[in-house]
Structure 1
């Protein structure tokens, strides 16, 4: 689906340099088990710049049920901070994409981060 959307955007006249990728509902544990594509796999298949990774989160369900934006459903951390980071990157702030997973506080992800973000 993402590949199709990229094609539609390019066909509508949008410049490739203006198309960015947000990976949604990213599940660290599934990637660790090899049941989900890594960030690098996804980015390599789509060949566009990554601007954010939104981890799978119960916070989104809670915010939806309360009828409030996820960024306002909390204290400036967690999944709301991930959305804030993406907005800041869209505005030119140099926040590393790795920060998205760090902000969400996934357990046992240090080795995962090393594997998907650090190239030998």
Structure 2
């Protein structure tokens, strides 16, 4: 009896792992595209800022969305990056740049980090409904 229950549990866990791997493959394509679109909107007006913002957003999205690293750590890293980038781009820290760059980057990184468990649940339920 216990053997059968354990076998069913392991099969269910393996199925869940496979479904999460499918979501990871989708997100590996979608998250860098989303990072590119956001970096064009929220980067400061020079190519160094655009490139740095693209790299930071892509790494942060993959870290919190696929690798499931600590969201608050990455929000802190993004805040520090934004302060440095804004200072080097403008020579000071204007509030409009903070709202545009830091606000956008923090908001979307938080959305990616908080939404991943919900995406997993929706995907698993949709797969179960197809069966």
Interval containing the TM-score (normalised by the shorter chain): under 0.3
Q: TM-score by structure 1 length?
A: 0.28
Max Rg structure = 2
Larger strand proportion of the pair = 1
Larger helix proportion of the pair = 2
Structure with more contact order per residue of length (Cα contacts < 8 Å, sep ≥ 6)? 2
Q: TM-score by structure 2 length?
A: 0.26
